[in-house]
Amino acid sequence: MKGFAKYGAMALMLAAMTGCGDKGGADKAAADGGAKAGALTIGFSQIGSESGWRAAETKLARSGAESRGINLKVSDAQQQQANQIKAIRSFIAQGVDAILLAPVISSGWDEVLGEARAAKIPVVLLDRQIDTADADLYLSAVTSDTVEEGRVAGRWLVEKLAGRDCRVVEIQGTIGASLVANRKKGFEEGIATAANVQLVRTQSGEFTRAKGKEVMEGFIKAEAPGSICAVYAHNDDMMIGAIQAMKEAGLKPGTDILAVSIDAVPDIFKAMADGEANATVELTPDMAGPAYDLLLAYKKDGTVPPKWVQTPSTLYLPDNAAAEYDRRKDLY
């Protein structure tokens, strides 16, 4: 026996051994006429805590579960796909009612999601997509349009420059994650019409502040003094690190080098209020809330959710940064 069949059978054997194979399965719940909100147990395979945004997503997943009477089990994968696969197998063995997965990278999920499907456990993807030829491996995905996020950032820069020549450096997120290629592609599309804007360097900062700082230090050293005009970072945390690098190099972030990033975490609003960052594209950290709601409806009466629940990508500028900081600081 190989591939899907082998792992499907293994999952079923494991489920039978733990005596909870069909417990809470989507079909059974629907056939039972719906599970009570309080009865649902959901396993959440979270990537880790690389950024402020990620920590907020976990926090909101916990509070959203509590307010809906859902029993949530969170597993922190510490950036390792192998840990996520292990966690999913453990959730299957425990007979959870559903699984939330924030996939660290986009490839390599078919086998384990096939096991979840064989155990009739619906999976909802959060904030990142996966590469698969079999879209039935997951019930729904709650994500933003990650290409559009890049476009919004790129278009903002083109408009801000108003024809001025600009050499841009880019700090990418974790290589292999669906949204990183998309945020890059979108940004390139956003600047494509402007011959005055040139992307000159790109490197991964792995979505962390420390790495973002390190990468920006490298860019500053590698480029002739005064020749970097803007930095585009795939998340705000890396931008906060880059801002630190610019300051340590005697540059004025936000003035000498324009700064545009993605997430809209409180610290970037603080930086904008201080004149050290220029724009951010919001990614809501409340990804679990819509996932819970669609799972509750699915379990109640079999309502099939949309395959993609799209969250908005709103651009924020410094004009109301102080107020936005106040509004968000306790949410994170």
Where does this chain bind ligand AHR (CB under 6 A)? 50-51, 53-54, 127-128, 179, 207, 235, 237, 262-263, 283
* C-beta closer to ligand AHR: residue 140 or 235: 235
Smallest gap, in angstroms, from Cβ of residue 235 to ligand AHR?
A: 4
* C-beta closer to ligand AHR: residue 115 or 170: 170
| Orientation of helix 178-191 relative to helix 146-161, angle to 10° | 30
Smallest gap, in angstroms, from Cβ of residue 179 to ligand AHR?
A: 5
* C-beta closer to ligand AHR: residue 92 or 147: 147
Smallest gap, in angstroms, from Cβ of residue 93 to ligand AHR?
A: 27
Smallest gap, in angstroms, from Cβ of residue 69 to ligand AHR?
A: 27
* C-beta closer to ligand AHR: residue 78 or 196: 78
* C-beta closer to ligand AHR: residue 127 or 324: 127
Smallest gap, in angstroms, from Cβ of residue 280 to ligand AHR?
A: 11
Smallest gap, in angstroms, from Cβ of residue 275 to ligand AHR?
A: 23
Smallest gap, in angstroms, from Cβ of residue 60 to ligand AHR?
A: 13
* C-beta closer to ligand AHR: residue 53 or 298: 53
Pairing status of strand 315-316 against strand 279-282: antiparallel
* C-beta closer to ligand AHR: residue 54 or 117: 54
CA distances from 161 to 154, 228, 252, 269 (A): 11, 13, 17, 21
Closest of 186, 326, 177 to residue 260, by C-alpha: 186
